Chains A and B, each alone.
Chain A
């Protein structure tokens, strides 16, 4: 990412802390899409820097009812990347009308799209994106979970987006401005 894209998003959501708990993530999610922030939050809670109170870890082998006390430290660079990817995924799913989950798009986004910049003005948030060309093959760490047909469909949908033609969805505008040469250093 050539400029820090997270700060405008935090400003749009009126979030003035880098320790993000559920209320802050709800606000960020609503800044991008008004329907429901839960899908976005689900995409975020798998972030590598997710912290739990009292060093608790997320139980993975049973359904349960309990309070989960976690937060995301947005001053951590990896967390910032994950957060921006999740936010961009929400914007893409809604703007392009994709039949894919935000979590799914968040995972594959870096192989297909570069978030060039995000800025905000009175009309909302503006995402400048670049297509990776050609799109990278599916990374090995996603091979067990990402369906190849879904991936091909997503790559095709991104390739169909017209360069220089902004797509608006609520207070979010997405614009593809060109191509980046394929690189795996940020994947």
Chain B
């Protein structure tokens, strides 16, 4: 994480209510305070809309490509980004406020904490002022943003053979913000006319039901019922075409609402030939966009939750300790009910490298040289520098676990926390999984896409039991989901916020159907162990994301 990003986060913590997000074409990071749910929801939805807009437009495809090109070839990312900031931020702000308001009521107070975004929201409100219905206004803003981003930029990039592309090749009215400003200058009328045209088209094609859901008494939740999806997609496409015709009168070169797809494929083929695979996710199809599980999976692939203020925790490798010294180290550190706990963590070395800031900027050689995931006991240590350090005392052999368990006795809970990414290493799993299971309750921290393990459960017909729980973390609300498959060896754990947990439940339900059963609480020992491991992760894990093994649907 660079200096600029550190500064940025420091400023965020100082400025507003604290919750913050940032999006790049690679992923989005969230630092949700868990203090004010409307704020957290608005921030989350804001970043989701950045991702969604890039994923369905030509300018977004260009950003995705240049963000991943190596070396000088990627230099045009900055100019491309600067040319669409207004469009992106306007849609993300407007849509996030509209959706979060549908659940929480007016969000003026929440948005006021992000003062630079208030004018963007107000400008978009003025643009859509001639349109009735919250759903119409939101879909129309989406259509407008898509139109602004659907420019012939990909053909221009391909013609310039990628490296030769400069923003100067694109006319101002064929740049997203040039278009957005054009509509701002023309006021509410073009959008009101587009909405009226779309209304007539939908009624003619589908009848009045979808539109009625956006009337008085209807709300965003009712309008966005899956039964109305097709109607609203048609409404958006109709409004888009009307706006497109208006913009074309000014000389803009426009594309159809999905007119970027062929040019994207052509450009990706050229990029692949020049630079090899660049790790780009496959775009969602229209069918996937209407599938809640697929949408949930797409969001989960890109989200990262920062659990720690500012930059990541500092990490340190502790000297090798035998079982007796490890017990001594942990015995006087109360974790729950004034009792200590012995928690053994397992993470791949590559994951440890990204989870912590290590001395000298690199993972210690001993960890780098590990032939499989690193098993360690964590302890907060003081190295004389400001801020805490998460020390890692390596457990070198599975046999040490038995000695630890025996020596620990009844001092407190014994728990293991293995990240799901460890389980991809079959050799390590054969050697370590049984001893770790015997050590105490085992939790599998989900740090990979659910696409990597849930479909197999579905194929095997396994019954999955899930429990959602909220955790108070020093005044912040965190949400966790624990689930286990059949007579599974462990509880799988998602630790994040309520939106991510809901998305994970949507995904599980989409894959498992009636084989997913929800329980209200964990019983006995599992409850205590879950409390211990969640507290432990909140204190020592820098972030949670689902990309520890990379993504499955990339080139």
Contact = CB atoms under 8 A, between A and B. Distances in A.
A65 B120 contact: no
Interface string B137-181: 000000000000000000000000000001111111101011001
A59 interface: yes
Contacts of A14: none
A35 B184 contact: yes
Contacts of A68: 116
A149 interface: yes
A36 B81 CA distance: 22
Interface stretch (A97-105, A111-119, A170-178): A97-105
A68 B115 CA distance: 8
A56 B7 contact: yes
Interface residues of B, number: 56
Nearest to B120: A38
Contacts of B166: 143-145
B124 to A, nearest CB: 11
B6 to A, nearest CB: 11
Contacts of B81: 60-61, 63
B43 interface: yes
B15 A99 contact: no
Q: In the complex, which range does the number of interface residues on chain A fall in?
A: 35 or more
Contact of B22 (A62, A100, A146): A62
A144 B79 contact: yes
Most buried by B among A56, A60, A100, A147: A147
A147 B114 CA distance: 34
A67 B116 contact: yes
A59 B8 contact: yes
B119 A38 contact: yes
B312 to A, nearest CB: 17
Interface string A78-112: 00000000000000011000011111100000000
B4 A57 contact: yes
Contacts of A165: none
A103 B11 CA distance: 27
A42 interface: yes
Nearest to B15: A67
A39 interface: yes
Nearest to B175: A101
Interface string B291-302: 000000000000
Contacts of A103: 177
A44 B167 CA distance: 20
A65 B117 contact: yes
Interface stretch (B82-90, B344-352, B360-368): B82-90
A139 interface: no
B46 interface: yes
B386 interface: no
A4 interface: no
A101 B171 CA distance: 11
A134 interface: no
B92 interface: yes
B446 to A, nearest CB: 25
A99 B16 contact: no
B409 interface: no
Given A38-B119, A65-B43, A101 B85 contact: no
A46 to B, nearest CB: 9
A95 to B, nearest CB: 12
A54 interface: yes
B24 interface: yes
Given A38-B119, A93-B185, A101-B177, A66 B251 contact: no
B184 A38 contact: yes
A148 interface: yes
Contacts of B251: 99
Contacts of B213: none
Nearest to B96: A65
Interface string A46-72: 000000001011011111111111000
B171 to A, nearest CB: 5
Contacts of A100: 172-173, 178
Nearest to B171: A147
B136 interface: no
B184 A64 contact: no
Nearest to B9: A66
A61 B79 CA distance: 10
A99 B29 CA distance: 37
B23 interface: yes
Contacts of A142: 168
B63 to A, nearest CB: 10
A10 B82 CA distance: 29
A38 B116 CA distance: 10
Contacts of A144: 79, 166-168
Nearest to A104: B172
A146 B92 CA distance: 27
Given A35-B185, A67-B15, A101-B172, 20 more contacts: A35-B184, A36-B126, A38-B119, A38-B123, A39-B181, A54-B11, A62-B24, A63-B50, A65-B117, A66-B12, A66-B15, A67-B16, A67-B116, A99-B172, A99-B250, A99-B251, A101-B177, A103-B177, A142-B168, A144-B166
10 closest Cβ contacts across the A-B interface? A67-B15, A62-B24, A63-B23, A64-B22, A99-B250, A144-B166, A147-B171, A63-B50, A104-B172, A101-B178
10 contacts: A22-B116, A37-B119, A39-B185, A42-B177, A54-B11, A62-B22, A99-B172, A99-B173, A145-B168, A147-B172
Interface of A: 22, 26, 35-39, 42, 54, 56-57, 59-69, 93-94, 99-104, 142-150
